């Protein structure tokens, strides 16, 4: 009975659709008070006075905190790491300084949420304001070299300058992307409860329960074993819930000070300044190719804004480190500009989704400069080895993505010249872009318990972001144990369970999934052991590899008396066991030290329809061809792809967070001002998976999928817009005024 590979529907679908899934803000704690945050209205300077007197006398108010009475918080650890994941290093309510608009400057706790929100409006603040430094082309000239936090900041292989000098066809352009905000359906929430023994239970909207526990242990000075972090369901994470943000610390500290549970739920507007966002980028690219279109050199540099106190790097140029080969060399670099804003963070395919806009737009420009079909140009520059490390790729089906995706799209019917395709009065354009996405290898642990009734329980500190973790992990256990999926219960999202990694970087299936598979296989082996050597062993004269599991029973694979079997329940009973427990410990090599380079790949084909009078761009259709290794569940995988492509459409055509140049505040802080795609913006999306089992990526054969699917949607659309109109838009999003 093979369950992996089946398009199983969400096991938690009914729970969610009927409102019975308990999200963080729903946590039933009757005696919890509610917190409300007061924000700075200026972007730079300091508070001269904060008067909480009126607020404290307002109905239901229990306490008001400012930097004067807020308990001290330990500094966040430096350097930042995936195990010490602070959202920003500057901690709330610790001094009178103001570094960004929307910075928390006071906290009011009251019996009800309305009382807290009302009282927060009664806090009177006097500021001493200074001019805010904002990100723009002028301040970008003050960019500095940041310290490394994820990958090396700069890279250089061979001699890129020489390759660019000696090329026959050259492109040198600047591409820019806008500030973008997360806007998950579920706003961030925290419920903090301390018990009399000083133990903290934190119900938290987090993609990393163990990281949150570790960080909170450090900054609040609480032993790690005294903290439990719980997250059973998330209404979207997308990187915005990967790290610990100030509202979480405020809530935990207030709950301790008041000796009462406290809850907070950020408003949609608060999600603009209380948690991270994606910073704008200014990227410069130089590409050169020989007469035939083979790349000789690539230079890619990206500059992005960060806060005055942190050095978040948007690693946009990493796209150019791994996608295409260039005979003479490739050089990349990143710089940051410290400005008055909150610290940016990972968001919906960070780094790659921005860098590919520049790289794959430039490749299209090169195709037109050289007169070569854009798909053919990419096939010409395919690489057997990772250009950065020189290691062979474990699997790399980008050629298949380009060829089979192109066939599905009907690329051969496309005419090369811009403005050469029409549908009535509309201009039709078709564009393509390739993509490479990082694969992460992280340790993970899981536990599988076989119960006396023949069912199984999986327990692991994994996360359900809305992606289908409960479902796919159930599948992996069912597959290894030969159980029907509904016989497997999954428990996740609790630090009391075996430790797993952050649900970021599209890494859950390959890594957490591997630990689940190992645990389930260990349980199966223990069952086989019992059947061979236990009490009244039914298969005493057989070898372990002669036994198979199917539908909750063990039987012989290739024997005449094949119909002889024993159920798991019987086997446990016969051995006087109420249950059988097995652990799975997945401990992969670090990605950089693996023998092979592991990446996911894609090719995206987009067709747009442009109204020549209005400059309005509509996506007509899109084919995404993906190589994320082996697919565990085609249904949830396709859903991930549809979601990812939709992000990409937002990035390409709609999403842009503008900052008021005078006040330094984000202008739009809700769905009416900050546009994201709706159903009417998204046509039929055609998704195909062309990858194969990748044993280097994971024992499950899977590589990263979710975020891959948002990458290169924007350049495919931008290239299609060029093909339709002859206009090259090098600034996202592609709005009407840039076409006219």
Supply the residues annotated as catalytic: 707
Chain positions 477 to 516 lying near ligand MOS, rule: CB under 6 A, are 504-505
Contacts of 205 (CB under 8 A, 6+ apart): 23, 24, 25, 186, 187, 188, 189, 190, 231, 234, 241
Residue 468 in the binding site for ligand MOS (CB under 6 A):
no
Longest distance between any two alpha carbons in the chain, whole Å: 88
Contacts of 388 (CB under 8 A, 6+ apart): 155, 157, 321, 322, 330, 597
Question: What residues pair up with 445 in beta bridges, in sequence order?
Answer: 585
Shortest Å, Cβ 342 to ligand MOS: 17
Shortest Å, Cβ 207 to ligand MOS: 6
What is the C-alpha to C-alpha distance for residues 357 and 379, in angstroms, rounded to an integer? 19
Contacts of 287 (CB under 8 A, 6+ apart): 164, 167, 170, 171, 295, 297, 298, 362, 363, 365, 366
Chain positions 207 to 226 lying near ligand MOS, rule: CB under 6 A, are 207
- Map residues 695-714 to x or -, x wherever contact with ligand MOS holds by CB under 6 A: ------------x-------
DSSP codes of every residue in 190-227: EEEEE-TTS-EEEEE--S-HHHHHHHHHHHHT--GGGE
Kindly tell me which residue out of 102, 104, 235, 237 binds ligand MOS, with binding defined by CB under 6 A.
Answer: 237
Phi (first) and psi of residue 671, to 5 degrees: -70, -10
Yes or no: say if 393 and 696 are a contact pair by the CB < 8 Å rule.
Answer: no
Token pair recorded at residue 99 = 């570094």
Looking only at the bridges linking them, the beta strands covering 553-556 and 565-567 are antiparallel
| Stretch of 231-239, 418-426, 580-588, 631-639 lying at the interface with ligand MOS (CB under 6 A) | 231-239
Residue 628 in the binding site for ligand MOS (CB under 6 A):
no
Kindly tell me which residue out of 35, 133, 242, 702 binds ligand MOS, with binding defined by CB under 6 A.
Answer: 242
Residue 643 in the binding site for ligand MOS (CB under 6 A):
no
Q: How many residues bind ligand MOS (CB under 6 A)?
A: 12
Residue 366 in the binding site for ligand MOS (CB under 6 A):
no
| Stretch of 187-195, 344-352, 402-410, 593-601 lying at the interface with ligand MOS (CB under 6 A) | 344-352
| Stretch of 221-229, 235-243, 552-560, 688-696 lying at the interface with ligand MOS (CB under 6 A) | 235-243
Residue 73 in the binding site for ligand MOS (CB under 6 A):
no
- Residue placing its CB nearer to ligand MOS in the complex, 242 or 337: 242
Yes or no: say if 436 and 599 are a contact pair by the CB < 8 Å rule.
Answer: yes
Q: How many of the other CB atoms lie within 10 Å of CB of 533?
A: 11
| Stretch of 291-299, 346-354, 443-451, 598-606 lying at the interface with ligand MOS (CB under 6 A) | 346-354
Residue 239 in the binding site for ligand MOS (CB under 6 A):
yes
- Map residues 161-200 to x or -, x wherever contact with ligand MOS holds by CB under 6 A: ----------------------------------------
Please give the distance of CA 398 from its chain centroid, rounded to a whole number. 22
Residue 556 in the binding site for ligand MOS (CB under 6 A):
no
What is the C-alpha to C-alpha distance for residues 698 and 462, in angstroms, rounded to an integer? 17
Token pair recorded at residue 732 = 């996202």
Shortest Å, Cβ 130 to ligand MOS: 33
Mapping DSSP to helix (H, G, I), strand (E, B) and coil, where does residue 646 land? helix
Shortest Å, Cβ 110 to ligand MOS: 33
- Residue placing its CB nearer to ligand MOS in the complex, 92 or 706: 706
Go through the chain and tell me how many residues it has: 740
Shortest Å, Cβ 106 to ligand MOS: 31
Token pair recorded at residue 135 = 């990100």
Residue 655 in the binding site for ligand MOS (CB under 6 A):
no
Residue 238 in the binding site for ligand MOS (CB under 6 A):
yes
Q: Which residue, judged by CB position, is nearest to ligand MOS in the bound state?
A: 239
Mapping DSSP to helix (H, G, I), strand (E, B) and coil, where does residue 393 land? strand
DSSP state, 133?
P
Binding site for ligand MOS (CB under 6 A): 207, 237-239, 242, 346-348, 350, 504-505, 707
């Amino acid at each position: 009975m093979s369950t992996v590979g089946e398009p199983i529907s969400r096991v938690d679908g009914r729970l969610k659709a009927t409102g019975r899934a308990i999200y963080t803000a729903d946590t039933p704690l009757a005696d919890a008070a509610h917190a409300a945050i007061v924000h700075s209205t200026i972007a730079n300077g300091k508070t001269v006075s904060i008067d909480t007197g009126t607020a404290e006398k307002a109905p239901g108010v229990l306490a008001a905190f400012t930097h004067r009475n807020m308990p001290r918080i330990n500094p966040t650890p430096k350097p930042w790491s995936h195990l010490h994941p602070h959202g920003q290093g500057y901690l709330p309510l610790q001094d009178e300084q103001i570094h960004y608009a929307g910075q928390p400057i006071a906290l009011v706790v009251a019996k009800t949420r309305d009382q807290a929100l009302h009282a927060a409006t009664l806090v009177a603040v006097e500021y001493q304001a200074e001019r805010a430094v904002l990100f723009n082309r002028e301040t970008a000239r003050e960019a500095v070299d940041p310290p490394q936090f994820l990958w090396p900041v700069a890279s250089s292989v061979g001699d890129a300058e020489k390759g660019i000098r000696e090329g026959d066809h050259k492109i040198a352009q600047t591409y820019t992307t806008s500030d973008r905000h997360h806007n998950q359906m579920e706003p961030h929430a925290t419920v903090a409860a301390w018990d009399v023994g000083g133990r903290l239970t934190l119900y938290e909207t987090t993609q990393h329960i163990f990281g949150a526990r570790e960080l909170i242990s450090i900054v609040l000075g609480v032993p790690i074993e005294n903290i439990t972090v719980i997250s059973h369901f998330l209404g979207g994470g997308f990187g915005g819930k990967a790290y610990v943000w100030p509202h979480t610390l405020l809530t935990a500290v207030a709950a301790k000070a008041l000796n009462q549970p406290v809850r907070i739920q950020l408003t949609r507007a608060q999600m603009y300044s209380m948690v991270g966002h994606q910073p704008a980028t200014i990227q410069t690219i130089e590409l050169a190719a020989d007469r035939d279109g083979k790349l000789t050199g690539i230079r890619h540099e990206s500059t992005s804004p960060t806060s005055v106190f942190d050095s978040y790097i948007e690693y946009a140029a990493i796209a150019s480190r791994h996608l295409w080969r260039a005979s003479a060399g490739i050089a990349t670099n990143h710089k940051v500009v410290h400005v008055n804003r909150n610290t940016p963070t990972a968001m919906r395919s960070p780094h790659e989704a921005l860098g590919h806009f520049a790289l794959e737009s430039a490749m299209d420009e090169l195709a037109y400069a050289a007169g070569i079909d854009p798909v053919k140009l990419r096939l010409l520059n395919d690489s057997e080895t990772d250009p950065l490390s020189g290691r062979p790729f474990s699997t790399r089906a980008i050629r298949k993505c380009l060829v089979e995706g192109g066939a599905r799209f009907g690329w051969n019917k496309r005419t090369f010249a811009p403005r050469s395709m029409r549908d009535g009065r509309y201009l039709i354009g078709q564009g393509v872009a390739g993509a490479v996405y990082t694969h992460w290898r992280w340790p993970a642990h899981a536990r599988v318990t076989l119960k006396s009734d023949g069912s199984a329980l999986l327990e692991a500190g994994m996360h359900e972001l809305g992606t289908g973790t409960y479902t796919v992990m159930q599948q992996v256990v069912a597959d290894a144990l030969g159980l029907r999926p509904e016989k497997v219960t999954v428990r996740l999202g609790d630090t009391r369970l075996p430790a797993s990694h952050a649900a970021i970087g599209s890494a859950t299936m390959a890594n957490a999934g591997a630990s689940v598979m190992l645990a389930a296989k260990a349980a199966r082996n223990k069952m086989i052991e019992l059947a061979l050597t236990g009490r009244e062993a039914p298969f005493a004269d057989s070898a372990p590899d002669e036994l198979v599991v199917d539908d909750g029973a063990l039987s012989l694979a290739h024997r005449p008396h094949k119909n002889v079997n024993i159920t798991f329940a019987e086997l446990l009973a016969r051995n006087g066991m109420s249950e059988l427990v097995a652990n799975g410990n997945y401990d992969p090599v670090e990605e950089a030290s693996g023998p092979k380079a592991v990446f996911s790949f894609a090719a995206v084909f987009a067709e747009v329809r442009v109204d020549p009078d209005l400059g309005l761009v509509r996506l007509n259709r899109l084919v995404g061809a993906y190589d994320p290794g082996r697919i565990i569940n085609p249904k949830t995988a396709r859903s991930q792809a549809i979601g990812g492509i939709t992000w990409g459409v937002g990035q390409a055509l709609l999403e842009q967070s503008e900052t008021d140049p005078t006040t330094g505040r984000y202008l739009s802080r809700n769905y009416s001002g900050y546009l994201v795609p709706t159903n009417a913006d998204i046509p039929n999306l055609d998704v195909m998976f062309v990858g194969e089992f990748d044993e280097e990526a994971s024992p499950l054969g899977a590589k990263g999928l979710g975020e891959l699917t948002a990458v290169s949607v924007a350049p495919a659309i931008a290239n299609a817009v060029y093909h339709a109109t002859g206009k090259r838009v090098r600034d996202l999003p592609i709005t009407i005024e840039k076409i006219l």
